[in-house]
Amino acid sequence: MENIEIKICSEVSDEDIYLAFKEGFSDYIVKFDLSKDQFLERFFGAEGNKREHSHIAYDMNRPVGVVLGGIITYDDIRTFRCGTLSVVPTYRKKGVGRQLMKRHEEIGRKNRCQMMMLEVISGNDRAVDFYEKLGYEKAYFLRYYTLKELRKFPDRTLDVEKIRPEMIKRIKPILNETHINWQNSLDYTDKLEGIEYYGITSRSNLSSFIIFDQMGKIYRMWTHPGHRREGHGVALLHKVIEVTGKQELHMSVSSNAGISNFLRRFGFQKDNLYQFEMIKPII
């Protein structure tokens, strides 16, 4: 479209960015009911997007599309992540999305990133097809699980204590052997408020840990291979229930047979909703 003008988000008002996002997601599969302040806190906070790395499309003075971007470390690779792409319904299939994604990729290349990454919800076939035409491919499934009743297991006496995030960061090389989606990474939880870190130690070494919030959302759960099948998992889950008072817990994990089997063993049920993590190399 000839009248479309693309601007960097650091040069425009937050109100315009919010309007482009809100109208673009008005018919989305999952409804976003976010105020402007909530939107700004989430998408320019823990999500890691930066205004100077994001672009907005205008038709005259009307915001009609926006793409948010931020630099992250993804599988130990410097990656430019698309935090969201939103185009007003009446402006779709008119090249607005392609113009925004072209500018988006230019920012990633300019900042010496090696890869592009984004997430797409299942059922949004139009978006998947759009990104595949741009060179993205599906890399992982992001599954969501819910626990409504913890299965009964033999009691074991294990001390689960509050720990410092630094204890987890010391074993990061071991943790990085398994792919973790961005929203469950330590870089992400570091930016959130109200996050709880609990673990079990053996001879002053961290043998297992769990990261969660007061709503019962679990971001990360891990046990050292040498301590698995010793009751660490059930002890950690009981601690979440004790601290939060929630009987219903939630967790998302990237496609991994071992982790999925672990969750199902404890009684987690797989939700119908899932996402694709899609990637594209920057050449």
Tokens 């997430």 label which residue? 119
Mention every residue, 6+ apart, whose C-beta is less than 8 A from residue 206: 163, 167, 168, 170, 171, 199, 200, 224
Query: Residues 208-225: pLDDT tens digits?
Result: 999 999 999 999 999 999
One domain, residues 104 and 156: no
Query: Residues 129-145: pLDDT tens digits?
Result: 999 999 999 999 999 99
Is 280 a member of any domain? no
- The confidence band for 1, taking pLDDT boundaries of 50, 70 and 90, is low
- The confidence band for 29, taking pLDDT boundaries of 50, 70 and 90, is low
Query: Residues 31-48: pLDDT tens digits?
Result: 778 899 999 999 999 899
Please, which contacts does 45-49 make with residues 24 or more away whose CB atoms are closer than 8 Å? Answer: 45/191, 46/188, 46/191, 46/192, 47/83, 48/72, 48/81, 48/83, 48/182, 48/187, 48/188, 48/191, 49/83, 49/84
Domain count, the chain: 2
| Range of the structural domain that residue 62 is part of | 4-113
Phi-psi domain of 34 (left: phi exceeds 0; alpha: psi -120 through 50; beta: other): beta
In whole numbers, what is the pLDDT of the chain averaged over residues? 92
**pTM over the 0.85 mark:** yes
One domain, residues 63 and 156: no
Is 118 a member of any domain? no
Q: What residues pair up with 146 in beta bridges, in sequence order?
A: 250, 269
Distance CA 67, CA 84 (A): 6
Query: Residues 141-183: pLDDT tens digits?
Result: 999 999 998 887 766 779 999 999 999 999 887 887 788 888 9
